[in-house]
Amino acid sequence: MDVVKLLGLLCVSASAALLAAEAGCGGVVAAFTIFPLIRPATVPEEENSADSVVERYVSDICITLDEMSHIYNRTLVALFRQNTRVLRDMSRRSAKLCRESETRRRAGVALRSSGADDMGAWLFGTRATVYLAEVCEALERIVRPACEHVERGAGAFSKEQTIALMRMNDAVDAMIHKVTAALWKDNAAEGVSEVRRQRNEVLDFVRECIREQIMRGGDEENTGTDLLFLTLLGETKTLTLRMSNLLKIKSYSLQSADGE
């Protein structure tokens, strides 16, 4: 209700009270009969239904994953090229994603009190936002050390490390596309097996890269670069596992809602 309408109702109630007092009746009672007309705006029920709640969260998650894919890709490319300006920009954007994901996580925890009484939607909202926040935190733990590494003027990756990270970049991008496509399906279980297969390929590749790095060893001059390489692999593993959990929790939540 805007200010003009509110002032109009106040004037009407005051006039009614004055007339009632002159007539010998309870002016206060007459005035308060006007105020039940003033009610807060209510949210349409369909906007708070279980399906719409799940759809809103899926939309937010997919937008975040798309931005995350862009940041991950540009970070690695800028790292190869030693581009400090781009890395600083990616660091700011990854930090922003973390703040936004934390806001969504808190909103997810409070979802049950907002009128959505479907347990499946509540469970998906709470757990998915937790996993999404962990994905964004893993991304920031990739971008920030990469930016600091280049700012210090540390060494570049070896040819083997560069090739491994390029393959990792392609694998993560494919993983994100599979997760987002599966999240939009009504039956989330349909995409679980495909995402699990892609996840296992990424994890196997991470283990292979770590094993090869240990076998190659390194000298003291490249210790910082080798540690960064291992950090990128470890956080990419965390990122991949949490992304697959996003799909699993949707499938589980919908099954819970159906009583399966």
User: Among 238, 246, 150, 155, which Cα is nearest to 195's?
Assistant: 246
Q: Which of 45-54, 107-116, 155-164 has the lowest mean pLDDT?
A: 107-116
Hey, what are 152's tokens? Answer: 């210090």
Token pair belonging to 192: 């679980």
Confidence of residue 192 (pLDDT cuts 50, 70, 90): confident
Kindly tell me the sign of the dihedral angle through the C-alpha atoms of 253, 255, 257, 260: negative
Share of residues in the chain with pLDDT > 70 (%) = 70
Amino acid at 85: R
Q: Out of 82-86, 116-120, 234-238, 256-260, which region has the weakest mean confidence (pLDDT)?
A: 256-260
Rounded mean pLDDT, 131-159 = 92
Distance of CA 92 to the CA centre of its chain: 16
Model confidence at 50, pLDDT cuts 50, 70, 90, reads: low
Q: What is the average pLDDT score of the chain?
A: 77
pLDDT at 175: 92
Considering 7-11, 16-20, 166-170, 189-193, the range whose residues carry the highest mean pLDDT is: 166-170
Read off the pLDDT of residues 52-109 as tens digits, 9 standing for 90 and up: 777 888 888 899 999 999 999 999 999 999 999 999 999 999 999 999 988 878 775 4
Find the length of the chain. Answer: 260
Is 243:135 a contact under the CB 8 Å cutoff?
yes
For the chain, the straight-line distance linking the first and the last C-alpha, in angstroms and rounded, comes to 45
- Using the structure block, give the residue that is written with the tokens 């209700």: 1
Give Cα 108 distance to the centre of its chain. 11
| pLDDT(254) > 70 | no
Q: What is d(CA 189, CA 176) in angstroms, rounded to the nearest whole number?
A: 17
Secondary structure, 3-state, the chain: CCHHHHHHHHHHHHHHHHHHHHCCCCHHHHHHCCHHHCCCCCCCHHHHCHHHHHHHHHHHHHHHHHHHHHHHHHHHHHHHHCCHHHHHHHHHHHHHHHHHHHHHHHHHHCHHHHCCCCHHHHHHHHHHHHHHHHHHHHHHHHHHHHHHHHHCCCCCCCHHHHHHHHHHHHHHHHHHHHHHHHHCCCCCHHHHHHHHHHHHHHHHHHHHHHHHHHHHCCCHHHHHHHHHHHHHHHHHHHHHHHHHHHHHHHHHHHHHHCCC
pTM for the structure as a whole: 0.74
Q: How far is CA 19 from CA 15, 26, 35, in A?
A: 6, 10, 17
Closest CA to 150 of 95, 70, 88, 218: 88
Which band of pLDDT confidence, cut at 50, 70 and 90, is reported for residue 234?
very high
Q: Which amino acid is it at 260?
A: E
